Chains A and B, each alone.
Chain A
């Protein structure tokens, strides 16, 4: 089973460029989310989705857009990259938000903004 797949694994951007981080899961999970991980800050929720066509903001949504056109895919878009967005980005999924549902994480995308 592939689980949660994130691409690319590494990316370097210049300030002002845009890009899309891809996330796909093959477990038919309804709930998907994006986190960023920064030293001293832990993991912080950017955006999440409870199902296809439904998205909502997390703790740190500014500068990021998401869409959920299919159950499988949940891309994260950086509209105009800023050095403050240098981070490691993780996508996660679970069957639902229910009590018994563990979150499964991808391996992350390491993004540097110059």
Chain B
């Protein structure tokens, strides 16, 4: 059974710092891995999707990497801003079942 784990559960950093959020998964049979952002009381916004054949994806200050062999993905946020404060969720789509399995998220606070 696929399990997705995100560490740390919460993170507080000063504005301007570069940071890395971690996501690990137990089953390497995934179609893709997707990173989402969730603001309090809101839905999920897709940030980046990495297909199983890819190693990384970039969007602005965000860079996501995928290492299937080690079962790990990271989300790198450069030059963090207070507006980046949110919960970040990763989810792996199983190539066996097609289902999306979520981690429990990392809640990020960027202090001015």
Contact = CB atoms under 8 A, between A and B. Distances in A.
- Whether chains A and B associate is yes
Interface of A: 31, 33, 35, 40-45, 48, 50, 58-59, 90, 92, 97-108
A90 B104 contact: no
A76 B67 CA distance: 36
Interface residues of B, number: 23
B44 interface: yes
Interface stretch (B18-26, B47-55, B78-86): B47-55
19 contacts: A31-B98, A42-B89, A42-B104, A45-B100, A58-B99, A59-B99, A97-B98, A98-B31, A99-B31, A100-B49, A101-B32, A103-B34, A103-B46, A105-B36, A105-B46, A106-B43, A107-B43, A108-B42, A108-B43
Contact of A42 (B32, B43, B98, B103): B103
B46 A104 contact: yes
Contact of A105 (B44, B103, B105): B44
Contacts of B43: 90, 105-108
